Chain A
Amino acid sequence: MVLSQTKMDLDFRLLFPEEFIKQILDEGYREDGRSHNQTRSTTLTVGSFKSADGSAVVRIGGTCVACGVKGELANPRAISPKDGFIVLNVEYSLVTGSEKLGAIGGGEKFFSSQSLTQIIQDIIHSSKFINLEHLCIEEGKICWSLNVDVVVLSCDGPVIDACVLAAVSALKNATLPSVEIESEKPLVSMATRNHLKTGQYPLMTSFAIHKKEVSDTNIGVLVDPTDDEAQYCTGIVCIAVTNDQKLTGLYKYGGPAMTSDDIQKCIRKAKKQATILVKLIDNTMK
């Protein structure tokens, strides 16, 4: 049900945005007519950038994230001669605007691009999505270094979910040319390209938590919050689930304190959302 907004509602929204959003959340509504545990539709496109080895564009509501993967030949580190590299970099594009980037608490960006990079790298590593040993071409001499560039094009809500989905889909979409070593020199044959060997992949779901003013249950949990909702809810929870339903990351940043029942509800929802996203990836990659 979409709320019909009268002139008075719109004036109230304009003058007291925080009070407006808090009140309608307390009453169990959301501005765009969704229920509290309803996500927005997600679209995924893969392979749209021809110059990249793999790419993906993700849209969740008004959030848009693009990701490209490019392979480079590199020398492995002396400390781990059998491993290749995944170099992940998340950036906010200038077109996202400066004030409301994944906003929480006063219109500043909540996740800086550096912390996004660290979190996504952590969950990709801990879900064992790509075994770095598979990126090795010859031990101690040559290996693949995968540059994964994620660019946030527009922000309206859970940027981190879109970034994870984009990075995972781009890596699954990526093909690398086969390389053979002839007399100590790498010979790249562009004709035969192979997909990367991938394992379980992570999928992220974000929640915003708000404290209900008048209620028997103390806190309210919103799945897939928009920018405005996230800004006026004090806490955020991000749960990463692999495609085989194991947890691989659980981050909570501030906000009202949660009991283990509240957390379990979020985990169940995140697992349900992960199965939807797995289907989306499977259908797109067909």
Chain B
Amino acid sequence: MFPSFLVFEFFSYGLEVRVVWRYILRRIVYLVPVFIGISFFVFFMLHMTPGDPAKMILGDTATEESVQELREEMGLNDPFLAQYWRYIKNAVRGNIGKSYITKSSVAHEVSQAFPATVKLALFSIAIAIFVGIPLGIISAIRQYSLMDNIAMGFALIGISMPVFWLGLLLILFFCVKLGWFPASGFDTFRQMILPAVTLSTPSLAIISRISRSSMLEVIRQDYIRTARAKGQVEFRVICNHALSNALIPIVTIVGLQFGALLEGAVVTESVFAVPGIGSLLVEAIKTRDYPMVLGGVLFIGIVFSLVNLAIDVLYAYIDPRIKAQYGGSG
């Protein structure tokens, strides 16, 4: 009896790993239509933009013949779907067009700007997670206390404030009035603090709200009472028993917040002059540099899809229900 139990354990572990992999594989396959969809959307938008790309590249002084020549060369006279197919083929090789303004490769400029945005986003999500989750948990444990009310009041304000306005207020207070931080740039740690605090605020607010409600739901469950009844230390009741179950909706929200962060990064970078994708987009919008705008959108869409994939994979590890779903009957 005893050894067979061990054997069963061993096999069920193997099954579990396989199940998770099947799930991950399925999610990766799902990405293909999404990528095709995003690229089609971006290409369609690019097609709809006003102005003739050939004229934009050659400038106002170009003759009609040279414009026609370039149109032929770029394949702009081909049917729509043929153009789209070429766009995809180029995109796979990392070529998503040339800027109307700087004439340089969009992919190159986007990849140059990407690290600053990643740094900003990671720093911000770290603040949002490490401040937001404990804040939510403490609010839940001390529900309706002064601390809870203040924290949730601030959270409501946090989700109602435009990010760029918060950024401007922080500049006003910490740079203009107090002179503690520089108002622009993104090279030193001191320069990174204000943009990261700005960008993290809405996410922090949402994460703390969800953590609170998720925790409130869990601490009313019977098994928490059981843990307390058997004399478990309160800290461990909360951290071991309650948190592990409260975490699932929190991870969902953290994943969704990456999208919000990428959105917020556009205006935040513009406010603090952070040389990231957001600033690149804003600059391109001002100069009507459509290939750059839509190239940036394509890039953000793909990055966001990959982040979502990562979150879903993380999910498969923390949520036993997914294993159950993909494991068939077992």
A binds B: no
